[in-house]
Structure 1
Amino acid sequence: MAAIPTASQMLASSGMPAELAAGTLPGLTAALAALEQEKGLSKDGLARVLAQFEDNLQRLTAIATDRTAHPEICDVKIDRPVFILGLPRCGTSILHALMGADPQVRTPLQWEVAAPSPPPDVATFDSDPRAAGFDDYVAENFVGAWEDVLKAHPIGARIPQECGMMLETAFQGINPTMLFRLAGYYKWYRDADTRFGYQIHKMWLQHLAWKNSRKRWVLKVQEHAYHLPELFSVYPDAILVQPHRDPVTVMASISRLIEVIRSVSFTEIDRAALGRELLHLWHDGQVRSMAWRKDNPHVKVHDLRFKDIVSDPVAAVRGIYAHAKIEFTEETKLAVQRWWEDNPANKHGQHKYELADYGLTRKQVETVYADYIDAYGEYL
């Protein structure tokens, strides 16, 4: 098995500026400590973890280098960004893509988050060769065991990217847990002060918007629910949107997705253990967000039903725009309709899952999520 380097060794080899290295060190240290304890990874899985960690550091170093060369990036304003949060598998990706189809809205795209340097330029944005390179990577790698990922989660150069791929460059995001389990790192992340992560997140948005800005940013990832105080410390004018769905369906679907994602890195997957892990992991985030919402009633959150998103996506987006004070134009309407028509459900095949496959019952899920169901029952 490959030797696991220390956090200091990885940071030194990345060439990251000292200030950013200091902020990244706690999370990277926690991730590597958890990796030392993770016994289920295959040889290839361990190599995949280390390559992912190195890529995270390299991407952050790249945007820091560009920022030093072009200090005006620091002056880019991020005005009233819209954050979509909630449980996984409840329509967040659909909403992100629907709103991202609007020409006045900016979402981070998967290719530019994967290869951010040099900063994307509006003049070449539609023809940037990094986009084709990303699609080539997907075509080459998302085959075999990983092919099922595409049935559940859209992947492609021009598809909006989740915030997790930016937060993980600061090692203050949940992606390492989703990809590689790393239970110790999840415990660290859950209880950490992640303000540094959101400062890095803002650096990313400024970087991507410098030469390609639009009126508003729309962003999403479920893990924002864990750390809303830190999010608002960096984005005090943030606007929140939260779709909801029956947690029983959510747990079955996300368990299958994470099983597929981890399958290439683990020698075997204990489905029942995975079900228990994710059942409580995602509930942790809802406990945090429900408490924060109760303590901050002045922040109005736009709640909506997953069922309403899929039954009338135009009306769903129109409601969000009214909440966020974004102009809903005829061009917006046509863009939303066009995206919906071009992206039917099961476009890449059917994502099949059963709750019982993961050792869970409806009663178990409803018991754990009783507080969530009580709080948001009208939206389920």
Structure 2
Amino acid sequence: MTEDSSADAMMAAAGLTGEFAVGTKPGLTAALASLALESGLSDEGKGRAVAQFQDNLGRLAAIASDRAAHPEIADVKIDRPVFILGLPRCGTSILHALIGADPDMRTPLQWEVAAPSPPPEAATFDSDPRADGFDAYVAANFSGKWADVLKAHPIGARVPQECGMILETAFQGINPAMLFSLPGYYDWYRDADTTFGYQVHKMWLQHLSWKNPRKRWVLKVQEHAYHLPELMSVYPDAVLVQPHRDPVTVMASISRLIEVIRSVSFEEIDRAALGQELLHLWHDGQVRSMAFRKANPDVKVHDLRFKDIVADPITAVHGVYAHANMAFSAQTERAVSAWWSDNPADKHGQHKYELSDYGLTREQVESVYADYIATYRDYL
């Protein structure tokens, strides 16, 4: 069976039809073709990849089915959403959670992105059994080799979810490459027109907002940097925020995190090859982002330092609110302060890593990221 026919069979099995199948098929086909060429994956790893692809299709099919049953979901307005950009490990998750602590703000939570149907409702949002089910899944699966993931990245039912878990349902996100090292798929994704992915992204926000709205959405994932033209075509009133951090520290940290994530799917991981892969992969996104910003000076981006987020989160969040023209109330300040107090950096243990573990040197990183460093030196 060819990857093309395999994609058709998988979408049919998930119940994905019409425009959703047409839009999803190119990325799914690219992912399946790349998976067939990946020799480093264990049999278990290949099974995990296929299961992940099936889950993505199932979640999108659920969104499509609910939308067909309730056409009014398409009328939900998404007003001036805030998108947090930036390299991995530079404070985007912290900033996302800090703002998400504000009761007036809406972030996608991990449980509702994992199990979106039926659409969540405000009256039962805090007691929805799907949340406990997600936490039970995390407790059962994030142990052994995967235990270190929790040290590096927060995972839990009521933790804000990245947009990557939404974009991957359209097979127009970077997650398959991160989880399973699929270079062919990454090359496809990097150069694809991902407008369909952002249209699906907006459908997700409408779906999650329908019966549980807030004043504004705040969203994040590093891969937005690759496709800002498509993002802005779907969200022309989007507000952009970008934290920055020394890329030398970023590369050491993200290499360790991806090594841990992949450890359950690969018999062996070549650390030096991983270091080189991620060194250039994340730089690709910044090249795209810097080009977009240079070509679109009218699109204002709020730049800030990772160091300032962790040194004074209240002031950092206040700056984002000012940029987004949102009221920073006493309630907001209390919520942000409480989240910071309840979530110390080492809550799940320390995440240890060294750049040299991945065959990288400071000089190598600074050479590849010379353009980024020169552009954002004041924010590093």
**TM-score above 0.5:** yes
Mapped pair 1:28 → 2:28: yes
Structure-2-length-normalised TM-score: 0.99
1:169 maps to amino acid = T
- The letter for the 2-side match of 1:275 is G
Distance 2:121 2:135 in 1: 19
In structure 2, the partner of 1:174 is 174
- What residue is the counterpart of 1:150 in the other structure? 150
The 3-state SS of whatever aligns with 2:352 is coil
Q: Quick one: distance in 1 between partners of 2:213 and 2:353?
A: 40
Structure 1 match to 2:252:
252
Counterpart in 1 of 2:236?
Answer: 236
Instruction: Write the deviation string for residues 197-241 of structure 1: whole angstroms up to 9, x where unpaired.
Output: 000000000000000000000000000000000000100000000
Task: Tell me the CA shift for residue 6 of structure 1.
Answer: 1.0
Which residue does the alignment assign to 2:19? 19
What is residue 72 of structure 1 aligned with on the other side? Answer: 72
Q: Which runs of 5+ in 1 are unaligned?
A: none
Paired with 2:75 and 2:166, the residues of 1 have a C-alpha distance of 19
Match in the other structure for 1:359: 359
Q: Quote the Cα distance in structure 1 between the aligned partners of 2:113 and 2:272.
A: 34
Alignment of 1:297-336 (within 5 A): 297-336=297-336
Question: Structure 1: how far apart are the matches of 2:196 and 2:345?
Answer: 37
C-alpha separation in 1, matches of 2:88 and 2:188? 21
Runs of 4+, deviation exceeding 3 Å: none
Deviation of 1:17 after TM superposition, in Å, equals: 2.3
Post-superposition shift, 1:18?
Answer: 1.5
Q: Deviations over 1:246-288 (max 9, x none)?
A: 0000000000000000000001000000000000000000000
Return the alpha-carbon distance in structure 2 between the equivalents of residues 303 and 87 of structure 1.
Answer: 12
Partner of 1:106: 106
C-alpha separation in 2, matches of 1:308 and 1:15: 47
Structure 2 CA distance, aligned partners of 1:9 and 1:20? 14
Q: 2:375 is aligned with what amino acid?
A: A
Where 2:331 maps in the other structure, the secondary structure is helix
In structure 1, the partner of 2:345 is 345
Cα offset for 1:76?
0.2
Match of 1:44 in 2: 44
RMSD (CA atoms): 1.1
8 Å CA contact retained: 2:245, 2:379: yes
In the alignment, the residues of structure 2 paired with residue 15 and residue 354 of structure 1 have an alpha-carbon distance, to the nearest angstrom, of 45
Q: Answer yes or no: is 1:190 the counterpart of 2:195.
A: no
Aligned length: 379
The separation in 2 between residues aligned to 1:321 and 1:19, in whole angstroms, is 37
TM-superposition CA deviations, 1:23-68 (whole Å, max 9, x none): 0000000000000100000011000000000000000000110001
Aligned: 1:122 with 2:122: yes
CA distance in 2, matches of 1:295, 1:348: 42
Give the partner amino acid of 2:312. Answer: D
Secondary structure of 1:281's partner? helix
Judge conservation of contact 2:11–2:17 (CA < 8 Å) in 1.
Answer: no
C-alpha distance in 2, partners of 1:139/1:192? Answer: 36
Q: TM-score, normalised by structure 1?
A: 0.99
Percent of aligned positions with the same letter in both sequences?
78
**Residue number in structure 2 paired with 1:139:** 139
Letter of the structure 1 residue corresponding to residue 167 of structure 2: L
Amino acid at match of 1:177: A
Q: Measure, in 2, the Cα distance between the counterparts of 1:266 and 1:366.
A: 30
Q: Which residue of 2 aligns with 1:273?
A: 273
Equivalent pair of 2:107/2:160 in contact (CA under 8 Å): yes
**Alpha-carbon distance in structure 1 between the residues aligned to 2:63 and 2:26:** 20
Question: For 1:199 and 1:288, how far apart are their aligned partners in 2?
Answer: 20
Shift of 1:19: 1.2
The residue type paired with residue 272 of structure 1 is: A
